[in-house]
Amino acid sequence: MLDAINNQLETVNLSQRDFSELVVRILDRGVIYRDDSQVERELYDRYLRVKLLLEEYLSVLGVRLLHDDQFHYLLAFPPGSEVPGLADDSDRPLQGLKVRLNQAEVALVLVLRAEYDKSLREGQIDETGQVSVPMEAVSITMKNLLNRSLPENILERKKLFNRLRNMRLIKLLDEGEQADSWIKIRPLIVSFVSEAVLDSIVDDLQHVGDQQIEQLQQQDRVALKAKNDDVADGEEQSEDDGVAIEKSTLSSGFEQFETASSLFNAEPNEGE
């Protein structure tokens, strides 16, 4: 096998050391972004010369590669991963090579994916596939979409964003410590969170929202019945007044839900 690899490397004028450096880099970092540095540029261009050889070599390990030739990055998926645009791997023996994210990191990745999708629809994307968003927008989307907040502690927040920067998902335009900071979301985010996953989250939130609406309506009906019973015991109440009470009660219930629910609260409350 080694002789066959060397023979193919000779045809593209690369040494075994050049190939080993490329393999080690993609397995160690998981991603090669051509625009990030001169080293990454050379490694990416080297990959283009040995594309089939590298993919066949890594397939022995169960590692699959996703190549985006538009934005010039290469992403490695460990065994058992679902790769966008590729058939599912039915044999999933290993899980140890997968990147493990904590809850705060998962939440931020989901929010950034939603922000990227929004900017993409609005055409707010640069020639490198990146979108710039203010930190305030990220914070609002996290509250609306997941009913969570960014870490208040500056060091924890900085650690969180540095983690995603190291994964090449974002670029920090500053340290990200201020509310008016900006970040750049990179197109690699699409490979981490597919549209299907994003749609699933929205559907789940809608389902939860519908259940809460039904509960509020039931509470309103019970409250209305109790109120009407009290009125009947004390004094006569006209039918029109009863209808007005029902409409008023239902309205107040929806207003309470819309204020408390992350699903409907699209804008921040005044004073936040």
The enclosing domain of 178 has a CATH number of: 1.10.10
Residue 177 and residue 243 in one domain: no
Spatial CA neighbour of 198 closest among 137, 265, 85, 109: 109
Q: Which range in 27-31, 236-240, 259-263 is most confidently predicted, on average pLDDT?
A: 27-31
User: In percent, how much of the chain has pLDDT > 90?
Assistant: 25
170 band by pLDDT with thresholds 50, 70 and 90: very high
In a domain, 270, yes or no: no
At 77, list the tokens: 């998926």
Q: How far is CA 164 from CA 53, 73, 119, in A?
A: 30, 16, 19
Residue 187 and residue 204 in one domain: no
Residue 108 and residue 72 in one domain: no
Backbone angles phi, psi at 132, to 5 degrees: -100, 130
Question: H or E stretch including 144?
Answer: helix 135-146
In a domain, 87, yes or no: no
How many domains would you assign to the chain? 3
Q: Which residue has the higher pLDDT, 251 or 261?
A: 251
Position 96 scores a pLDDT of 40
Name the average pLDDT for the chain: 74
User: In percent, how much of the chain has pLDDT > 70?
Assistant: 62
Residue 25 and residue 10 in one domain: yes
Is pLDDT above 80 for 27?
A: yes
Distance CA 156, CA 108 (A): 13
Q: Which residue has the higher pLDDT, 226 or 184?
A: 184
At 3, list the tokens: 């002789």
Spatial CA neighbour of 261 closest among 196, 199, 212, 197: 212
In a domain, 93, yes or no: no
Q: How far is CA 65 from CA 9, 55, 224, in A?
A: 19, 7, 61
Q: What is the pLDDT of residues 67-98, one digit of tens each?
A: 999 999 998 888 776 666 555 554 444 444 45
Is pLDDT above 80 for 233?
A: no
In a domain, 177, yes or no: yes
Q: Are the beta carbons of 129 and 70 closer than 8 angstroms?
A: yes
Question: What is the span of the domain harbouring residue 160?
Answer: 103-193
Q: What is the mean pLDDT of residues 152-163?
A: 89
Is pLDDT above 80 for 144?
A: yes
Residue 154 and residue 221 in one domain: no
Q: Which residue has the higher pLDDT, 181 or 169?
A: 169
Quick count: other Cβ atoms within 10 Å of Cβ 149? 10
Lowest mean pLDDT among 53-57, 221-225, 253-257: 253-257
Q: Sheet of 73-77: strands edge to edge?
A: 31-33, 73-77, 64-68
Is pLDDT above 90 for 185?
A: yes
In a domain, 186, yes or no: yes
Is pLDDT above 60 for 210?
A: no
Q: What is the pLDDT of residues 11-22, one digit of tens each?
A: 999 999 999 999
Q: Which residue has the higher pLDDT, 269 or 219?
A: 219
In a domain, 268, yes or no: no
In a domain, 267, yes or no: no
Handedness of CA 227, 232, 233, 235 (dihedral sign): positive
Position 193 scores a pLDDT of 73
Pairing of strands 182-185, 131-134: antiparallel
Is pLDDT above 70 for 268?
A: no
Residue 250 and residue 206 in one domain: yes
Q: What is the mean pLDDT of residues 204-219?
A: 54
